[in-house]
Structure 1
Amino acid sequence: MIFREGVLRRWHIVEDEDWILFYKDVLLSSTLLLFQSDRMGAFDELPEECIAAILSRTTPVDAVRLSLVSKTLRSAADSDAVWNHFIPSYPDFIETIVSKSPTFANIRTKKAVYLALCDRYIIISDYEDDNARKSFQLDKKSGKDCYTFSARFLDFTDSMLGFSCSRNIWTLTPDSRFTEVAARADVGWTDFLINICGRINTIDLSPNTQYAAYLVFKVIDVIGCSRPHVEFSVGVGNDHDDVTNPCYHTSKIVCLYRNYQGGANNTVVGLQSSIVRSDGWFEIEMGEFFNLGLENEVKMNVFMEMKDGNQNTRLLFEGIEVRPK
């Protein structure tokens, strides 16, 4: 017998974190044997709230897998008590954004809310600028927070012939999740540098999680650019922190365009290039960072230098996505 005498009937196990974690390990290690031994009967003797407390210390994937083992586990695994633990720790925020989304109007259980937040994103507007939007979603396997910041949320700075200017053209595109994207046309008679900067506070992300930032974009008619690579940097820390420390800061040079043929002066061989997403946009990893759960700021920068410009080159920037690595 895997349980100590009398423990199965002690309701205070729900408040005993050590016991909950002990039973979680037992349950996960015994899953493959549950159909072939009396261990399932032992778990059947536990009150449902105890089983729910144990399952809530696992992962969403484990909870779904264990729900297939027996009716007892299925009942507990489908309960709100379990899925409340998998939804982010700021339920007021979740309740607010869910209540404002018509697609969530008929959802009644926390498990259904979780699965819906994994399958679809919710658009959140900035309080000061309704056009500055971001999308929120959950990672299906881990339940970690994912954000995509629209181009309106980002700071664009251009440098052309020694002057700083802003040449964004805000345009609509039917395949974007946002109402507007930033369109940039290469100016054929000069070189220019684009600097794109995004920021997010780590308290808005899931703690103790490895994250990566991705630039989401499209390239149209790539002709005549002899240097189509960019430099990314991702740093964690406030202004007074040492963001140059490798623990806090990463940077790299990548090739923005897929299948780029650089000609005789090709300088992009061997560089990381973009991939096609399921939504039809391109993405390329900017860098990664570990969120310790402390309040800090993540700074994400794109430095793009265009040489020997051509008016047939056009870039669309949807935004920057931050999701678990």
Structure 2
Amino acid sequence: MATTFNMLPEDCVSTIISLTSPPDACRIMHASASLRSAAESENVWSRFLPSDLPRILTRSHTQLQFSSRKNLYFQLCDSILIDEGIRSFSLNKVSGKKCCILSARALTISLSNEPNHWTWTTNSTSRFQEVIELKTISNIEIEGRINTEDLSPNTTYGAYLIIKVSDHAFGLDSIPSEISVSKGECSATNTAYLCPLDEKKKHFGSLFFTNRTQMMEKRVVHGEGRRPSKREDGWMEVELGEFFVGENSEDVKMNLMEVKGHQLKGGLIIEGIELRPTN
């Protein structure tokens, strides 16, 4: 392949490489010294960057210093803060698709400014300046919104609530919360718990609160009862649902609602909601 490419002008080779993917360009770069220059060219990596890059950079809250488009691409893969630091933007390293995290400050959380119910605090493992921790409340309502112009077209996205559960948490696994993702007239609803499954606690609860739990669960829509899963960054995530981004700009709404069961709960820490390609 290298011999064939060497017979072509470098700008022609770079155009061909730009029609592949970032991993392919990196493999070509390391596979052939003669093709390195073409694979590292501005032409190649400009094609891998979002078409609305100038708009993204004007929203950046992170100081960026880059010597090339390739360097900028990998900086964006590591994520930057945008919109005065309440959102995180990044690129998927493999596909170059856009990813976004709405921080807790970018969400609508019922009674979030009531100090008796919630407290805004810092967390050393969070990418954001603030996270929010639940002190005590009987009904949780969380909503996030994003316009699809901030995401990549012709792509299926998943929405994930990023959380932690403190050591003194209580009431988070009594009944599942209702979750939904809506775009236009399309809406998908499910259920999820805000705590990992604890078999010992589940057994204890079944001995003393079975009837009460069953009564509360009748108020919840039918769903899978999803559980949080661990993330590489040390947090946990709950999948809220999926949606497809087409060519047109549309608003997407993501919700989590714990129905009124008069069950006090506390100890939930929320970092935000992540939107990322499912593939």
- Tell me the TM-score normalised to structure 1 length: 0.72
Partner of 2:121: 171
Partner of 1:82: 44
**Is the counterpart of residue 101 in structure 1 residue 62 in structure 2?**
yes
Counterpart contact for 1:156–1:166, Cα < 8 Å:
no
Structure number with greater Rg is 1
Change (3 A) 1:116 1:297: same
Paired with 1:226 and 1:273, the residues of 2 have a C-alpha distance of 10
Change (3 A) 1:204 1:87: same
Aligned counterpart in structure 2 of residue 113 of structure 1, from 69, 72, 77: 72
Paired with 2:103 and 2:273, the residues of 1 have a C-alpha distance of 7
Aligned counterpart in structure 1 of residue 227 of structure 2, from 273, 278, 281: 273
CA displacement at 1:91 relative to structure 2: 2.4
Partner of 1:230: 177
Paired with 2:39 and 2:55, the residues of 1 have a C-alpha distance of 24
**Is the counterpart of residue 124 in structure 1 residue 82 in structure 2?**
yes
Paired with 1:324 and 1:304, the residues of 2 have a C-alpha distance of 27
Report the aligned-residue RMSD.
2.6
Paired with 2:248 and 2:116, the residues of 1 have a C-alpha distance of 34
Change (3 A) 1:95 1:271: closer
Partner of 1:28: none
Counterpart contact for 2:116–2:135, Cα < 8 Å:
no
CA displacement at 1:306 relative to structure 2: 6.8
Paired with 1:280 and 1:306, the residues of 2 have a C-alpha distance of 30
Letter in 1 for 2:238: I
Q: Residues 139-150 of structure 1: matches in 2 within 5 Å? A: 139-150=92-103
CA displacement at 1:299 relative to structure 2: 0.6
Q: What whole-Å deviation, never above 9, does each CA across 1:61-114 have from its counterpart, x for those lacking one?
A: 11112223323322111111000011111121344356x634x32x20111111
**Is the counterpart of residue 219 in structure 1 residue 181 in structure 2?**
no
Alignment gaps of 5+ in structure 2: 218-222
Counterpart contact for 1:224–1:308, Cα < 8 Å:
no
Change (3 A) 1:226 1:214: closer
CA displacement at 1:225 relative to structure 2: 5.2
**Is the counterpart of residue 314 in structure 1 residue 260 in structure 2?**
no
SS in 2 for 1:68: helix
Change (3 A) 1:222 1:202: same
Counterpart contact for 2:194–2:238, Cα < 8 Å:
yes
Change (3 A) 1:320 1:225: closer
Alignment gaps of 5+ in structure 1: 1-33, 35-39, 127-131, 159-163, 238-242
SS in 1 for 2:182: strand
Percent identity, please.
38
Counterpart contact for 2:80–2:90, Cα < 8 Å:
yes
Letter in 2 for 1:289: F
Counterpart contact for 2:161–2:238, Cα < 8 Å:
yes
Q: What whole-Å deviation, never above 9, does each CA across 1:120-146 have from its counterpart, x for those lacking one?
A: 2211135xxxxx710111111111111
Aligned counterpart in structure 1 of residue 136 of structure 2, from 186, 193, 201: 186
Paired with 2:247 and 2:271, the residues of 1 have a C-alpha distance of 28
**Is the counterpart of residue 250 in structure 1 residue 212 in structure 2?**
no
**Is the counterpart of residue 291 in structure 1 residue 248 in structure 2?**
no
Change (3 A) 1:199 1:214: same
Paired with 1:300 and 1:259, the residues of 2 have a C-alpha distance of 24
